[in-house]
Amino acid sequence: MPTRIFVVAAGTICLLMVWWIVGPVDPSASAAINRPNATGPVVETSQCNGPDLSLVQIDSGIEMGGIAWWDYAFKNQGSSACTLNGFPRVQLLNARGQVVHSKMVQNEDATPASVTIEPKQQAQFRLRYNNGSRGRKGTHCLASVSRLRIQAPGTTRWFRRNDKIDLCDLVRVSEIYLPPAQ
């Protein structure tokens, strides 16, 4: 009897350790991953091409502590579904259009999933940065940029945006993800 209690306790501890390391499973997160169709084989789609994509800004905001964010989306303008996998490439540009502060842009700590974008649908990503509004007087940002260049993962086309960022810290780029179902 004591051996059985020990085995059950050890098994419970192992499961709790796995849950602690992996984290709770969010069933809604699986929508952004290519998965086999429930009634058939894996549906293969081709990599998105730059000419078939457009870039739009969806939303923006500021969180407590001066963390600002912008949500962007790549829209599939093509006639068939296509796939993106990874992080978009983002470059900060000065007034002359030259790349500046390249080490200030970093990807979020996440493992990107392959995302399939149906025709006329979109996949999003988020830029996050500290805009310096932490409420401390005398806080100065490193620089300001007023233009961005953004490239979808696996493509060669660059999109230009006239969006201002005050560089008070790193600019963080999220992985590509599907928007929540409406």
State how far the Cα of 129 lies from the Cα of 90, in Å rounded to an integer: 13
pLDDT score, position 35: 35
Structure-block tokens of residue 169: 């810290």
Give the Cα-Cα-Cα angle 153, 79, 34 (nearest 5 degrees). Answer: 50
Residue 63 carries which DSSP code? -
Q: How far apart are CA 93 and CA 116, in angstroms?
A: 30
Alpha carbons 174 and 157: distance in angstroms, whole number = 19
Contact present, 105 and 149 (Cβ < 8 Å): no
100 contact partners, CB below 8 Å, separation of at least 6: 92, 93, 94, 143, 145
What pLDDT shows up at residue 135? 46
The predicted structure's pLDDT at residue 122: 95
Q: What is the pLDDT of residue 27?
A: 35
- Which is more confidently placed, 78 or 143? 78
Q: Mind listing the pLDDT tens digit for each residue in 71-118?
A: 999 999 999 999 999 999 999 998 888 888 888 889 998 888 899 999
Q: Give me the amino acid identity at 106.
A: Q
pLDDT band at 140 (very low <50, low <70, confident <90, very high): low
Question: Residue by residue, what is the 3-state secondary structure of 35-84?
Answer: CCCCCCCCCCCEECCHHHEEEEEEEEEECCCCEEEEEEEEEECCCCCEEE
